[in-house]
Chains A and B, each alone.
Chain A
Amino acid sequence: MMQFVADGIVSAALIALGAIGISMTYNILRFANFAQGEILTIGAYFTLLLVSLIGAGIGTLGPVAFGWPLLVSIVFAMAATSVVVLVVDWLLFRPLRNRKAARITLIMAAFGLSLMGRNLVTLIAGGEPQYYAFFIPKAIEILPGVRLVPDDFAIIGIAIIAFAALFLFMNRTSMGRQMRAVSENPTLARINGIDVRAVIRWTWIIGASLATVAGALLAHNTQLRPEMGFDMLLPMFAALILGGASNLYGTILGALVIGLTEAIAVSLGLAGYRAAITFMVMLIVLLFRPQGLLGEKE
């Protein structure tokens, strides 16, 4: 019982970490980034590269089966992934923006990138599953009869720290305010002296950094595969729409609903149907709240 709640929250944390980037590109660059899954994947593989460069395994932290070597690798991978994403924006999305390309053009470009990204990862890293380290998850008994995996708590903790940092950034810093201003009214933002190009750069950096954390933790919990991020795309979009696309915190709430629904489906022995069940829940919620859980009516 407790374990399925923990599983649900862990997958919610990973979905939310990945989906925040989609939410931010959607609200600031105004298109649905279907290449977000590959950003997770690239983040996870960069982490693998750094883990092997450091060459000290992934360490441990008390009962948790990963430690500083993995965390340090993730931080460097965040930077590397951000650079890749910024270069792609500069080469592809920036010229499209400057030519005032239609939204559907941006979306199709993202689709193309998604395919390319997956192929490129397969080409460079190979298609077979890989691991940061071999370990056997050891559940510990926290209450009589209730056994939980410490790594799950570490992952949830990291996600909470990331969300708190994001919240502080958006509400307490000048750049966070500028991002909210551009997402609401880009023209007034420019009139107000906001350099939208700088805001766009930060949008990519934050989205890619959180996606890297999601990808690396997902890979730690499961395995690295070139399709790992793509497989997260549907739950991430479901979380975004369910939570209300215009609201960053709605995305986190949406992810929680999606993650728990998936976990319930699995615990009922319906693992094979979990995508269908998740979408049914999403559709039912949208029937009653078309703007999403925390979205505003237009």
Chain B
Amino acid sequence: MVEPMLAVRDVEAGYNPSLPILHGISLDVFEGEIVTVLGPNGAGKSTLIKAIAGLLSISRGSVTIGGRDITGVETHQLIRERVAYVPQTENVFAKLSVEENLALGALHNPDQFAEQRRRVLDLFPDLERLGHLAAGKLSGGQRQMVAVGRALMADPTLLMLDEPSAGLSPKLAQVVFSQLIRVKQVGVTILMVEQNARAALKISDRGYVLAEGQEKVQGDARSLLDNPEVGELYLGANSRLARS
């Protein structure tokens, strides 16, 4: 049996010790996969990623990466475990230039800076000509590229993305998803949270559906796409729309 790259076991966590938001979540991500976490608003998707990243304290359960226990890791040490994380909002340093954002991404591997920068610019060629601009001046799609590019500069083995297509037009969202396929192809494992269930599952290997702080359904992406229970749990009234 293959060891998961990321193993979340029975995690209870929240913003306030007396009021857990996650009630014992378990989840696996295997090397080379794209795994998507779905769920309605307020289900605890962002909370789950923040707990993995050490931004919230975990009151029960464990998180391991490559077999190493990183439960309650200090957030700034996460990158040393080669886990990069792109938050849902405010995910670039708006006052810093695109190049400075990328340079900060390679904070702990400065000797790899030129090589990683090349790799990121191959993925996102647009960033080359935007390099000197303040990241805050960019459009939503460009900003998302800076955010993902900054995360990739650290040469992570696992990339966690919180709603990478949020706020983008359907067309731009497609661009982001096809870029994520290329990120996967260069050997980066991806765990992402998405609202755009259909498009996300299409590029995913497996998925989890969260509701009320627990995982309700899991399975490979294709079976989730066809699963009527997923429609009910997650897509709700919009199920027809999302399936059309």
Determine the chain B residues whose CB is within 8 A of the CB of A178 once the complex forms.
Answer: 104, 107
Q: How many angstroms between the C-alpha atoms of A33 and B55 in the bound complex? A: 27
Determine the chain A residues whose CB is within 8 A of the CB of B150 once the complex forms.
Answer: 192
Determine the chain A residues whose CB is within 8 A of the CB of B77 once the complex forms.
Answer: 193
**Is there contact, CB below 8 Å, between A194 and B94?**
no
Contact indicator per residue, chain B 88-108, by CB within 8 Å of chain A (1) or not (0): 001111111000100111011
Contact indicator per residue, chain A 165-178, by CB within 8 Å of chain B (1) or not (0): 00000000010011
Given contacts A177-B96, A184-B94, A185-B90, contact A192 B105 (CB under 8 A): yes
Answer yes or no: B125 CB below 8 A from chain A CBs: no
Answer yes or no: A180 CB below 8 A from chain B CBs: yes
Answer yes or no: A191 CB below 8 A from chain B CBs: yes
**B77-132: which residues lie under 8 A (CB-CB) from chain A?**
77-80, 85, 87, 90-96, 100, 103-105, 107-108, 110
Answer yes or no: A97 CB below 8 A from chain B CBs: no
Instruction: Count A interface residues, CB 8 Å.
Output: 17
**Is there contact, CB below 8 Å, between B104 and A196?**
no
**Is there contact, CB below 8 Å, between B78 and A184?**
no
Given contacts A188-B87, A190-B76, A192-B105, contact A181 B96 (CB under 8 A): yes
**Is there contact, CB below 8 Å, between A191 and B87?**
yes
**A51-98: which residues lie under 8 A (CB-CB) from chain B?**
none
Given contacts A187-B55, A188-B91, A191-B87, contact A181 B76 (CB under 8 A): no
Answer yes or no: B53 CB below 8 A from chain A CBs: yes
**Is there contact, CB below 8 Å, between B55 and A177?**
no
Q: Residue B78 contacts which of A185, A187, A191 (CB distance < 8 angstroms)?
A: A191
Q: How many angstroms between the C-alpha atoms of A189 and B96 in the bound complex? A: 12
Determine the chain B residues whose CB is within 8 A of the CB of A185 once the complex forms.
Answer: 90, 93
Minimum CB–CB distance for B154 against chain A, Å: 7
Answer yes or no: B227 CB below 8 A from chain A CBs: no
Determine the chain A residues whose CB is within 8 A of the CB of B78 once the complex forms.
Answer: 191, 193
**Is there contact, CB below 8 Å, between A184 and B107?**
no
Q: Output the nearest chain B residue to A185 by Cβ-Cβ distance.
A: B90
Answer yes or no: A195 CB below 8 A from chain B CBs: yes
Q: Residue B85 contacts which of A174, A191, A194, A195 (CB distance < 8 angstroms)?
A: A191
Most chain B Cβ neighbours within 10 Å, of A178, A191, A193, A195: A191
Minimum CB–CB distance for B239 against chain A, Å: 34
Q: Output the nearest chain B residue to A180 by Cβ-Cβ distance.
A: B96
Determine the chain A residues whose CB is within 8 A of the CB of B80 once the complex forms.
Answer: 193
**Is there contact, CB below 8 Å, between B53 and A181?**
no
Q: Residue A192 contacts which of B55, B90, B94, B104 (CB distance < 8 angstroms)?
A: B104
**Is there contact, CB below 8 Å, between A184 and B95?**
yes
**Is there contact, CB below 8 Å, between A174 and B87?**
no
Q: How many angstroms between the C-alpha atoms of A276 and B171 in the bound complex? A: 59
**Is there contact, CB below 8 Å, between B76 and A196?**
yes
Q: How many angstroms between the C-alpha atoms of A127 and B105 in the bound complex? A: 52
Q: Residue A193 contacts which of B55, B76, B95, B103 (CB distance < 8 angstroms)?
A: B76
Q: How many angstroms between the C-alpha atoms of A192 and B147 in the bound complex? A: 11
Determine the chain A residues whose CB is within 8 A of the CB of B178 once the complex forms.
Answer: none
Q: How many angstroms between the C-alpha atoms of A189 and B87 in the bound complex? A: 12
Answer yes or no: B169 CB below 8 A from chain A CBs: no
**Is there contact, CB below 8 Å, between A193 and B108?**
yes
Answer yes or no: B41 CB below 8 A from chain A CBs: no
Determine the chain B residues whose CB is within 8 A of the CB of A177 once the complex forms.
Answer: 96, 100, 103-104
Answer yes or no: B75 CB below 8 A from chain A CBs: yes
**Is there contact, CB below 8 Å, between A192 and B91?**
no
Contact indicator per residue, chain A 92-127, by CB within 8 Å of chain B (1) or not (0): 000000000000000000000000000000000000
Given contacts A177-B100, A187-B55, A188-B87, contact A194 B93 (CB under 8 A): no
Minimum CB–CB distance for B82 against chain A, Å: 11
**Is there contact, CB below 8 Å, between A181 and B104?**
yes
Minimum CB–CB distance for A198 against chain B, Å: 9
**Is there contact, CB below 8 Å, between B96 and A194?**
no
Q: Output the nearest chain B residue to A246 by Cβ-Cβ distance.
A: B95
Minimum CB–CB distance for A265 against chain B, Å: 36
Q: Residue B96 contacts which of A184, A195, A196 (CB distance < 8 angstroms)?
A: A184
Minimum CB–CB distance for A247 against chain B, Å: 10
Q: How many angstroms between the C-alpha atoms of A196 and B77 in the bound complex? A: 11
Minimum CB–CB distance for A168 against chain B, Å: 15
17 interchain pairs (CB within 8 A)?
Answer: A174-B103, A177-B96, A177-B103, A180-B95, A180-B96, A181-B104, A184-B96, A185-B93, A187-B87, A188-B90, A191-B55, A191-B75, A192-B76, A192-B104, A193-B78, A193-B79, A193-B80
The 6 A-B pairs at the shortest CB distance, nearest first, are namely A193-B79, A190-B75, A190-B76, A193-B107, A195-B76, A191-B85
Binding site for B on A (CB under 8 A): 174, 177-178, 180-181, 184-185, 187-196
Binding site for A on B (CB under 8 A): 53, 55, 75-80, 85, 87, 90-96, 100, 103-105, 107-108, 110, 150, 154
Q: 10 extra interchain contacts, Cβ-Cβ under 8 A, other than A184-B93, A187-B87? A: A174-B107, A178-B107, A180-B93, A188-B87, A188-B90, A189-B76, A190-B76, A192-B105, A193-B76, A193-B108
